[in-house]
Amino acid sequence: MVNTRSRRSWRCRDGQHRLCIFMAKKETPVLLQVPTHVAIIMDGNGRWALSRGLPRLAGHRAGTENLRRIIRACVEFGIKYLTIYAFSTENWGRPREEVDGLMHILEDVIDKELAELNNEGVQLRHIGHLERLDPKLQEKVLEAIDLTKDNNRLILNVAFNYGGRDEIICAIQRIITDGVNPDAVDSDLVSKYLFTAGVPDPDLIIRTSGELRVSNFLIWQGAYSEWYVTSVYWPDFTKEEFRKALDTYALRDRRYGGLSSTPEDNPAHVD
């Protein structure tokens, strides 16, 4: 029987120091590698609702309920950053009733969940634009950000009225406005001008509902992210489904454009 408190660390294939926590049940590691930053395209809410004969907004509310469970799972698994795609710049083109409903859901979440999130040590951040939101909702978002700014158990980036191309355009405009010398522009500098400045790029991007599209999400930051796509709709993406994604990630050999770090996959590799 393995001691449930026993821990062992070793050098993984990517050369990084990893922690493995063993469970007595099945005597297998919970996670071989824990991604620092996970980003999620929470897709399939509307289809989940329609498949049950419910209005689309019922699916969005169910998706919001599920987010609470995934946030708790992130804390349990030791993930430090979670970025969720809640509302894109293109979503304004949806029916007015659905857009208004999504705005109300965001306001309800802040009213009902903020205190608990703050008590759990979750820091809320917003990426995107607030300008098109109702002034009252803008104020609530800013108050939530300010209230949780000192929390560090989990950093939750909420991409609301966000688009990846728009983010890059805004970064370019600010670089020009600041009079940066063109020769000084490199990847590190551009990253500092993005909405996610100071946040490490996502190690893993998850998309639910089976769609094989980037959908204008974290275009710059996701350049070398690992992807995991599942046909499961977001409201049904349980902690167990999340665990599957993390287990799959743990088996990836992240090469960043280079060769495999393992001799068996790279005959030319020399220790």
Orientation angle between helical segments 239-250 and 56-77, nearest 10 degrees: 50
Q: Identity (one letter) of the amino acid at 147?
A: L
Mapped onto helix, strand or coil, the DSSP state of residue 152 is coil
Q: Which residues contact 104 (CB under 8 A, 6 or more apart)?
A: none
The per-residue pLDDT for range 43-60, each reduced to its tens digit, is 999 999 999 999 999 999
Percent of the chain with pLDDT over 90: 81
Residue 91 is a catalytic residue = yes
Q: CA–CA separation, 235 vs 71, rounded Å?
A: 13
* Of 261 and 90, the one with more pLDDT: 90
Residues 85-111 as b or e (16 or more Cβ within 10 Å = b): bbbbbebeeeeeeeeebbbebbbebbe
Q: Which residue segments constitute the domains of the chain, with CATH numbers given?
A: 1-30 (no CATH), 33-250 (3.40.1180.10)
Catalytic residue among 43, 166, 201, 203: 43
Residues 97-102 have a mean pLDDT of: 96
* Of 265 and 77, the one with more pLDDT: 77
Q: What is the pLDDT of residue 260?
A: 65
pLDDT-based confidence at 264, cuts 50/70/90? low
Q: What is the mean pLDDT of the chain?
A: 88
**E strand or H helix that includes residue 59:** helix 56-77
Q: What is the pLDDT of residue 153?
A: 97
Cα-flanking dihedrals φ and ψ of residue 205, to 5°?
A: -115, 125
The per-residue pLDDT for range 89-99, each reduced to its tens digit, is 999 999 999 99
**E strand or H helix that includes residue 126:** strand 122-127
Enter the pTM of the model: 0.85
Q: What is the pLDDT of residue 31?
A: 80
Q: CA–CA separation, 268 vs 262, rounded Å?
A: 10
Q: What is the pLDDT of residue 255?
A: 76
Q: How far is CA 190 from the centre of its chain?
A: 20
Residue 43 is a catalytic residue = yes
* Of 86 and 24, the one with more pLDDT: 86
pLDDT at 15 over 70: no
Q: CA–CA separation, 109 vs 111, rounded Å?
A: 5
The per-residue pLDDT for range 127-183, each reduced to its tens digit, is 999 999 999 999 999 999 999 999 999 999 999 999 999 999 999 999 999 999 999
Catalytic residue among 14, 91, 253, 266: 91
pLDDT-based confidence at 8, cuts 50/70/90? very low
Q: Is the C-alpha dihedral spanning 109, 238, 24, 249 positive or negative?
A: negative
* Of 22 and 55, the one with more pLDDT: 55
Percent of the chain with pLDDT over 70: 84
Average the pLDDT over each of 21-25, 86-90, 166-170 and give the range with the smallest value.
21-25
Instruction: Please answer whether residues 123 and 49 qualify as being in contact, where contact means their C-beta atoms are separated by less than 8 angstroms.
Output: no
